[in-house]
Amino acid sequence: MTKSPEGRLLDLVADVQGLLDIDEFREGLLEAMHRAVPSDWVSLNDVGPGPNNVVAIVRPEIDPKWLDVFGRLVHENPLVRRLGETRDGRAYRITDVVSQEEYRSLRIYRDFYGIIGVEYQMAFTLPHSHDRILGVALSRRHEDYSDVERDFVNRARPFLIQVYRNAVEFERARTLHGSNGSALLYSLQANGLTVREAEVIRYVALGRSNRDAAAALGISERTIGKHLERAFKKLGVANRSAASALVWDLADDWPRLRPEE
């Protein structure tokens, strides 16, 4: 028996809501979208922070040479142009923006979409912050997406945005905790902090209390307070929130700031 839109929505959310690892989330999202809205191709671009931080995935995979062609012509995609002009990340079809005749006259169709067989497409975005956004495109050969399918994706989008944000924040927290943490501590020291001050500030960024940080580092809460006072002054910030924001910025930039091996 065919499920109702509400049942399919619940299935879609259930498929992705537990995927905290960002790589698992990307793959899981594509699989879940294909089940919810059957397509010949599902793809995503996870962009930012920074202009060179882009992850592109297409399922099923296509010859890498076509990805190079797409990269050169992506600015011609009517949905990409519309997003740039409106910043409206809701789901739209190409046929919501231009006619099929106009679409087929574009170079991106002649040199890419038309060759691999993409006649219809619907796309939407999942924003995390002003400098990080994930775009999802669903593509078909023979049948356009219906109003019902477009509306279904727009109903699911707020839930998907939250799951994406959870995965990004989990990734960032793991950066502070895991093997990348040493690079972050190095970058904090490069900003004038001592090793201990850097460790304390990292706990602040993770939302830990002074008591938690003291227990983890084996020092008193009074000493934690002193370290914070000095660290705030060196970093040019006035409070824990500002210090946390700075640490997260450094965490995003850690590959650029990493010391040479």
State pLDDT tens for residues 129-167: 777 899 999 999 999 999 999 999 999 999 999 999 888
Structure tokens at 167: 């995965």
Q: How many CB atoms lie within 10 A of CB 184?
A: 25
Closest residue by Cα to residue 139 from 119, 114, 115, 160: 119
With cut-offs at 50, 70 and 90, classify the pLDDT of residue 258: very low
245 vs 80, higher pLDDT? 80
Q: Which of 51-55, 115-119, 246-250: highest mean pLDDT?
A: 115-119
Give the total residue count for the chain.
261
Taking residues 227-256, report their average pLDDT: 80
pLDDT digits (tens, 9 = 90+) for 173-217: 666 655 455 667 777 888 888 988 888 888 888 778 888 888 888
With cut-offs at 50, 70 and 90, classify the pLDDT of residue 257: very low
pLDDT digits (tens, 9 = 90+) for 1-54: 577 878 888 889 889 888 888 889 999 999 999 999 999 999 999 887 665 677
Taking residues 108-125, report their average pLDDT: 96
1 vs 244, higher pLDDT? 244
Question: Which single residue is written with the structure tokens 């190095």?
Answer: 186
pLDDT digits (tens, 9 = 90+) for 75-98: 999 999 999 999 999 999 999 999
CA-to-CA distance for 155 and 205, rounded, in angstroms? 33
Residue 253 has pLDDT above 70, yes or no: no
Going from the N-terminus, what domains does the chain have, and what CATH number goes with each? Answer: 5-168 (3.30.450.80), 178-257 (1.10.10.10)
CA atoms within 13 A on the CB side of 192: 8
Q: Tell me, what's the pLDDT at 51?
A: 59
**Distance (Å) of CA 57 to CA 23, 27, 41, 130:** 11, 8, 10, 22
Structure tokens at 28: 């899981």
- Cβ contact 12:113 at 8 Å: no
The model's pTM is 0.71
CA-to-CA distance for 193 and 236, rounded, in angstroms? 12
